[in-house]
Structure 1
Amino acid sequence: MEKSHIVKLYEDGKSTTDISALACISVRQVRNILHQENVTFRPRGSWKRQYTVNEHYFKTWSPNMAYILGFIAADGVISKTLQCISFSQKEPSILEHIRDELQSDQPLHQNERTGVYLLNIHSKTMKEDLMTLHGITPNKSTTITLPYVPAHLLSHFIRGYFDGDGNVTYPKYVVSFVGGSEAFMLGIKAVLEAHGFQPDFVDKGRYFRLYIVGRRNIRLFANWIYKDKTLYLSRKFDEFERETLPLEQLQNKKQRITRAAVADRKNKFLACYATSYDLEDCARSVGVTPNTVKVWTRKDPCFKDKVAELDQEKSI
């Protein structure tokens, strides 16, 4: 059998065992010929795959690929020991859409106890691409960092992460994200800030939250992540659709300053005061009045002591 014929059989999906039988040569000889012809080998056992899948899906950027990558960053599980990527959701429809996008015919399974649906995709190549090309690894919850995503696809990635680990609440007008990795959540924060949002970052100890607050703000956020949408979780999209007013009529209520924001202002004031010792200028630099600083001094003993220490250093 000609070498070109052997290569053609392999590229058409025949196994090296089948080809060796057809060519009346050993499997080792078949593999040597394929090596000589610079043929890229399939993962072992791939021709025995029970269900189809586009194993090279995560090699090429697209809006849907960015969405699924964000979804995996939030809710996906990459097995440490198996060549498997798992997706879970209460609604089966989004998993069916993801499965179709991955060109798979893998059936969904439902956990009888929780009612949650599970999609398992078995592919060594896909797992390796997620790990090596995009930095998404097993046991990622506390270690993941924001992967590189082309700028024009960031809204799709954020929508995917939001569908996995985000929430919107009406009529409080709050969008929130949750995650276990500080580096990843700070990366999301930077993306949101670059697109004109001002998210609040809150350290909850074992996890981290981001908040976008305000009726107009969350409408703008929805307009951004759902522009040119294809894949999305209907339940969360429908929640945004509760808004009845057009964008030009929406306004944000003045938000109450949080404890974290006050503490941040105090620290910035102290840093300024340590160099200039000008109470009025430092108060203005952090957006408060001198009278507010006096209230802090009266009600916060720790702050009062730090100001006193700086005053003492000034007099030395």
Structure 2
Amino acid sequence: MPRNPGITDEMIIKLYKEGISYKEMLPIVGLSDRAIRNVLYKHGVKMNREQSSGQPRKHKVNEDFFKIWTQEMAWVLGLFVTDGTINKQIHSISFTQKDEKILRLVATCMEADYVLAPAAPTRLTPTLIINSKEIKQDLQKLDITPNKSLVVPFPDVPDEFLPSFIRGVIDGDGWVDHEGYTMNITTGSQLFAEGLLFVFESWGFYSEITKGITKAGNPFYRTWVKGKEHLLKLAEIIYKYEIGKYISYKRLNMSQHSKEQMLFLEHLLNDKGYEILNKL
């Protein structure tokens, strides 16, 4: 059973020392539990009996996080719909983002230990891993399932929490032009694109869906909001609630035509507690 491309002995040792069981390592490294033991034995790594028995690793997380709607839960759910993955083989989920600050904010919201998957040639972008059967099941109750990218529906989000959910979606997979005139969200799911369209139109924005085809031949959809006045209003709606002391460049781009908004954001950025989330 060959190991997965790019997986070194050092990576296997690092995973083991972080408390990951053999069972959890199998899909990551591609080796059998016996082969993993041989690697650890070769390097003189002291082995833990409970960990070797396949018990799940013990990392802190609020397992009730997706049971109760809050602004933070809605934001994290929006991020997960766009940048999250449910592992089919083990009870874990993951978030992938270029900027680790947003992953740290997710971990803070979920009261989770900050555990990143080891870098590998096939995974260069930071990935936050959260192990929890309960959280995986709660996401599935919200119709978020493995292999969701092409079929995920728009979740039944209460109106009170829609702005934070949309903010999470935009933070995850949105694009805002530097001039602040257009915004779009890209998804492989037509159902999700249509759900976004319904929300934007209900908020009074000019919105439309365009369709394209990837190099692999799969369809993708972009839901647009156009016009600087509409983007200003969108920013007012989705950034009403502060979630962590971070300001994304997308928020800056949306708000640039409002002197009042830009002065407000400049004031926040002068506060040492705030940082800009670079291009997500």
Q: TM-score, normalised by structure 1?
A: 0.59
Q: Determine helix, strand or coil for the equivalent of 2:206.
A: coil
Alignment of 1:191-206 (within 5 A): 191-205=199-213, 206=219
**Aligned position for 2:59:** 51
Instruction: Identify which of 108, 112, 128 aligns with 1:104.
Output: 112
Deviation string 1:86-143 (CA, Å, 9 cap, x unpaired) is 00111101110110111111323463656521100000010001002x0000000111
Q: Determine helix, strand or coil for the equivalent of 1:177.
A: strand
Q: TM-score, normalised by structure 2?
A: 0.67
**Aligned-partner Cα distance in 2 for 1:112–1:241:** 38
Alignment of 1:113-262 (within 5 A): 115-132=124-141, 134-171=142-179, 173-205=181-213, 206-231=219-244, 234-243=248-257, 245-246=259-260
**Aligned-partner Cα distance in 1 for 2:64–2:181:** 40
1:225 is matched by which residue type in structure 2?
I
Please, which moves more after superposition, 166-175 or 146-155?
A: 166-175
CA shift, 1:246, in A, is 4.9
Deviation string 1:215-272 (CA, Å, 9 cap, x unpaired) is 111111111110112156623223334335458xxxxxxxxxxxxxxxxxxxxxxxxx
Identity %: 34
**Aligned position for 2:24:** none
CA shift, 1:83, in A, is 0.7
The structure number with the bigger radius of gyration is 1
**Aligned-partner Cα distance in 2 for 1:51–1:60:** 21
Q: Determine helix, strand or coil for the equivalent of 1:239.
A: helix
| Contact 2:180/2:254 (<8 A) preserved | no
1:210 is matched by which residue type in structure 2?
T
Gaps of 5+ in 2: 1-52, 214-218, 262-280
Deviation string 1:117-172 (CA, Å, 9 cap, x unpaired) is 1100000010001002x000000011110111110100000001111110100226
**Whose helix fraction is larger, Structure 1's or Structure 2's?**
1
**Aligned position for 1:75:** 83
Q: Which has the higher contact order (CA 8 A, sep 6+)?
A: 2
- RMSD across aligned C-alpha pairs, in angstroms? 2.3
Gaps of 5+ in 1: 1-44, 248-316
| Contact 1:87/1:119 (<8 A) preserved | yes
CA 101–90 in structure 1, closer or farther in 2 if over 3 Å, else same: same
